[in-house]
A and B are shown apart, each in its own frame.
Chain A
Amino acid sequence: MIMNTLSILDLNVWYGNLQALKAITADIPPNKITAIIGPSGCGKSTLLKSLNRLLELVPDTRIAGQIKLNDFDIYSSAASVTEVRTHIGLLPQKPFPLPMSIYDNVAYPIRIHALLPRKGIPDKVEETLLAVGLWDEVKDRLRAPAFGLSVGQQQRLCLARALAVEPQVLLCDESTSALDPMSARTIEDLLIALKEEYTIVTVTHNLGQAERLADHVLFLWLGELLEQGPAVRVFQSPEHPLMAAYLAREFG
């Protein structure tokens, strides 16, 4: 089994003059689900988006520090941003299919990265759609527009699209918050199954979900990392009083 570890070293992020992340140092364990939790505006999404360098698309952003994927600093000058995003995939908050057919949504990333010879693509698309449990629902309308799927199906399609690139790490940005409870649970079950092969980092507002999914927890508060550790330990005996208050749902 390939072990893919992410480590964050002294990461600082500024939006203009506002410091959004303050000296974050954390290890994200391989083949586990790490949940980033904390109240709104604490920097959860900022931290997640710095992990695949999507953050630098935001104007006026300054990022300092290191993020290492298996000891390779993704912010070093030797790193190509295209390659970084190939190794570290993202499942967005709101499902957003590409303006293509269902089939092409999954085939497109395989094609651009030339991961397979042309002939191999249909099998890989089928395999990926099977993995996210979408194949049976779409196999008769692969050429239909992806936009015609239900929101829950669209999110599974986005997951398939992210997996088709064969990333090492999968980032989930509150990926179930726009979904109905049934679809959300389907995505959760998929993530649990996928951690066999991928290192998963998820941002969630939903403490119940964090408790169900997480093996490891990072607790952010106003841009600072107040607590981190195995989920069982953090949830049962939080060390920081603010973490305890948050778990007691005293603020959101």
Chain B
Amino acid sequence: MKRKLFVRALLDKVWPAVMLLCLLGAGFVLSSILIAITSRGLRSLSWEMISTPPQRAFYLGGAGGILNAIAGSLCLALGATTIASLVAIPVVLYMHTYGKGKRQTLLIRLALDVMWGMPSIVYGAFVFTFIMAVGLRASLLAGMLTLVLVSLPILTRTFDEVALMVPTDLSESTLALGTTRTELAGMLLRQTVPGLLAGIFLAFARSIGDGASVLFTAGYTDSMPSSLLRPVASLPLAIFFQLSTPFPEVQARAHTAALVLTAIILLFGMLAYVVHAHLGRYIIR
């Protein structure tokens, strides 16, 4: 009896130590990445780098910057997240109204979970085959559509989980005040906005950071995005192309591109956090 208590007390001390160790490990990896990107990226970070597209001989160390990739990535990711949200909302509404508890809904969930795990290069190859078949070329539109496929399961499943957590008492309490259905929707939105934002941010971060899906579908160009039907540059591919050159100064620029990409994700993450902290204060848990 005594001995068992001793083992339990020991385990109670060992577990927190294991957890702390894991936390430190994760923290070490994350900070190493951040330090490496920042220290290397800062070397060639300049106003010119983020405010101009590549000039002549940029990939041999010439003048210019990566504005083409920054603008291209923002267009791709913001466009894809917006389109995917517009598709996800009716799907989630269906799952929670007409399809509630039905077989189709379970199948939709299963399909989305499989889609979530699918490597993005597969989506890229799929859309590439598709655009070839209809006679189109790599373009902003095709890249966006590929990223829609990547972010759709993320958005739909997070919205779905948020909707699952809405207490039924909330609808009843709101309707009992004599609200219309539109006002009820507004109230449900108040309760769910923080969760929805988290989903949107997750999808945005995944889309802007994904290189494989835009490799064949969006292409690459040194010019600024100008049309939905023309190729666009993107930050992940800017990193890839510059890192594969033999010139150290060009390789350093790849780290600048990585730094910019990380900064954009961080910025949007902070924005989501601020909105969450502001609106999430009132939600009923």
Q: Which A residues form the contact surface with B (CB < 8 A)?
A: 52, 54, 57, 82-86, 89-90, 92, 94, 96-101, 108-109, 112-113, 145-147, 158, 161-162, 165
Contact B284 A57 (CB under 8 A): no
Output the least CB separation between B85 and chain A (Å). 21
Contact B179 A82 (CB under 8 A): yes
Output the least CB separation between A10 and chain B (Å). 25
**Distance in angstroms between the alpha carbons of A147 and B173 in the assembled complex:** 14
Contact B282 A101 (CB under 8 A): yes
Instruction: Name the CB-closest residue of B to A113.
Output: B178
Tell me if B12 counts as interface (CB < 8 A to partner A).
no
Output the least CB separation between A86 and chain B (Å). 3
Contact B183 A85 (CB under 8 A): no
**Distance in angstroms between the alpha carbons of A101 and B281 in the assembled complex:** 9
Instruction: Name the CB-closest residue of A to B194.
Output: A99
Contact B179 A96 (CB under 8 A): no
Chain A positions within 8 Å of B63 at CB level: none
**Interface residue from A54, A97, A113, A162 paired with B172 (Cβ < 8 Å):** A54
Output the least CB separation between B283 and chain A (Å). 5
Contact A96 B284 (CB under 8 A): yes
Chain A positions within 8 Å of B43 at CB level: none
Contact A99 B170 (CB under 8 A): yes
Bitwise, B272-285 to A at CB < 8 A (1) or not (0) is: 00000000011111
Contact B173 A98 (CB under 8 A): yes
Contact B177 A109 (CB under 8 A): yes
**Distance in angstroms between the alpha carbons of A82 and B184 in the assembled complex:** 11
Instruction: Name the CB-closest residue of B to A89.
Output: B176
Instruction: Name the CB-closest residue of B to A102.
Output: B282
Contact A96 B178 (CB under 8 A): no
Task: List 10 A-B residue pairs with CB atoms under 8 Å apart, sorted by A's residue number.
Answer: A85-B179, A86-B177, A94-B169, A96-B167, A96-B170, A99-B190, A99-B191, A108-B177, A109-B177, A113-B178
Contact B191 A57 (CB under 8 A): no
Tell me if B105 counts as interface (CB < 8 A to partner A).
no
Chain A positions within 8 Å of B244 at CB level: none
Output the least CB separation between A48 and chain B (Å). 11
Output the least CB separation between A212 and chain B (Å). 25
Output the least CB separation between A173 and chain B (Å). 10
Given contacts A113-B178, A147-B282, 14 further A-B contacts (CB under 8 A): A54-B175, A57-B175, A85-B177, A92-B169, A92-B176, A96-B170, A96-B173, A96-B284, A98-B284, A99-B170, A99-B283, A101-B282, A109-B178, A162-B177
Chain B positions within 8 Å of A52 at CB level: 176
Chain A positions within 8 Å of B24 at CB level: none
Instruction: Name the CB-closest residue of A to B187.
Output: A98
Q: Which 3 A-B pairs have the closest CB atoms?
A: A86-B178, A90-B176, A85-B178
Bitwise, B179-200 to A at CB < 8 A (1) or not (0) is: 1100100010011000000000
Instruction: Name the CB-closest residue of B to A84.
Output: B178
Contact A83 B178 (CB under 8 A): yes
Output the least CB separation between A153 and chain B (Å). 14
Chain B positions within 8 Å of A85 at CB level: 175-179
**Interface residue from A89, A100, A147 paired with B285 (Cβ < 8 Å):** A147
Contact B187 A82 (CB under 8 A): no
Tell me if B174 counts as interface (CB < 8 A to partner A).
yes
Q: Given contacts A146-B282, A147-B285, is CB(A96)–CB(B175) below 8 Å? A: no
Chain A positions within 8 Å of B183 at CB level: 112
Contact A145 B281 (CB under 8 A): yes
Instruction: Name the CB-closest residue of A to B188.
Output: A99
Output the least CB separation between A67 and chain B (Å). 16
Instruction: Name the CB-closest residue of A to B283.
Output: A99
Contact A99 B169 (CB under 8 A): no
Contact B190 A96 (CB under 8 A): no
**Distance in angstroms between the alpha carbons of A52 and B284 in the assembled complex:** 25
Contact B282 A165 (CB under 8 A): no
Instruction: Name the CB-closest residue of A to B177.
Output: A109
Output the least CB separation between B141 and chain A (Å). 39
Q: Given contacts A100-B282, A145-B281, is CB(A112)–CB(B176) below 8 Å? A: no
Tell me if B171 counts as interface (CB < 8 A to partner A).
yes
Contact B172 A92 (CB under 8 A): yes
Chain B positions within 8 Å of A57 at CB level: 171-172, 175
Chain A positions within 8 Å of B187 at CB level: 98-99
Contact A99 B175 (CB under 8 A): no
Most A-side CB within 10 Å, residue of B172, B177, B190, B281:
B177
Contact B173 A158 (CB under 8 A): yes
Q: Given contacts A92-B169, A145-B281, is CB(A100)–CB(B175) below 8 Å? A: no
Output the least CB separation between B185 and chain A (Å). 13
Q: Given contacts A57-B172, A94-B169, is CB(A99)–CB(B178) below 8 Å? A: no
